[in-house]
Amino acid sequence: MRARRRAALVAAGIGVVVLGVGLTGDPLVTDMGAVLRAPSLAHPLGTDELGRDVLARLAHGALLTLGTAGSALVVAVLLGLLAGCATGWSSSPVAALVRAGVDVATALPPLIVALVTTLIAGPSTAALLLALAGVSWLPFARQADAMTAQLRTRNWVLAHRALGAGRLLIWRRSLLPFLAPAAGALAAVRLPALVNTVAALGFLGLGPPPPRPEWGAMIAESVDHLGTAPWLLAAPVLALVAVQTIVAALAAER
């Protein structure tokens, strides 16, 4: 398992270096004299139908695809922890109703919910982030709810309450230290699915509008050139596979 973790870290390091090189280029500069050029020293991953450097677009697309997924995940974790603590701490009918609503919403396909949200709000980074966070907080809320319901009867929590500590203080000092590691492990498992959802919505044209590079949009743009420029498809697809593999390997070590 340690060898697998080391391999994943080495692969992640190589990926960061490659993307770092790509970030030095401009993903929007066109060169009609270098349209659909195969990979070369000048363009390590080739060029697209407008002569734009694929490596530069892949690197800047990583900031958008991975950044959007990561930001949505952070928001989802915070919302989930807050909602889960609130429902798990209380035994009121309102908490039970909210808990039931979360259970029902969790059964909905996340991609479909995100798709409908972005269709209503329109293609933009903000709409994409809202859609992803809106469907991603539910598993964290269920996890925090179950753990809080167990922890609230522990002796140290009861002692805090007996001493007159406020609810927020108890949550911060007695609950979050136990909830955070579990939420982090769940976040590592959920990240690849979020990255795939961002790419899927970008592929459907519901991500950030062009010409901003995004991995799903790059895959969609490559469809018309599969026979003549296969590198256009290979670059974003291999990048997505690499992210899934690296995250899965690192999450397995937790």
d(CA 30, CA 48): 9
pLDDT digits (tens, 9 = 90+) for 21-75: 999 999 999 999 999 999 999 999 999 999 999 999 999 999 999 999 999 999 9
User: What average pLDDT does range 138-144 have in this prediction?
Assistant: 93
Rounded distance, CA 39 to CA 43, Å? 6
Q: What is the pLDDT of residue 92?
A: 83
Cβ-Cβ contacts under 8 Å for 9 (sequence gap 6 or more):
250
Cis bond leading into 139, ω under 30°? no
Whether the Cβ atoms of residue 78 and residue 179 lie closer than 8 Å to each other: no
How many other CB atoms are found less than 10 A from the CB of residue 27?
A: 21
Torsion angles phi and psi, residue 53, rounded to 5: -70, 125
Answer whether 139's CB lies under 8 Å from 190's CB: yes
Domains of the chain: 2-25+49-252 (1.10.3720.10)
Contact at 8 Å (CB) between 89 and 167? yes
Check residue 253 and give its pLDDT. 59
| Contact of 126 with 207, CB cutoff 8 Å | no
- Among the residue ranges 140-144, 173-177, 195-199, 223-227, the one predicted with the least confidence is 173-177
For residue 74, what pLDDT is reported? 94
List Cβ neighbours of 253 (8 Å cut-off, separation of 6 or more).
Answer: 1, 2, 4, 5
157 contacts: CB under 8 Å, gap ≥ 6: 151, 170, 174, 175
pLDDT at 128 over 80: yes
Report the pLDDT value the prediction gives residue 123, as an integer from 0 to 100: 76
In the chain, pLDDT over 90 holds for what percent of residues?
47
pLDDT surpassing 80 at residue 122: no
Confidence of residue 216 (pLDDT cuts 50, 70, 90): very high
Which is more confident, 139 or 91?
139
CA–CA gap between residue 172 and residue 156 (Å, rounded): 13
Q: At what angle do helices 125-151 and 176-203 cross, to 10 degrees?
A: 150
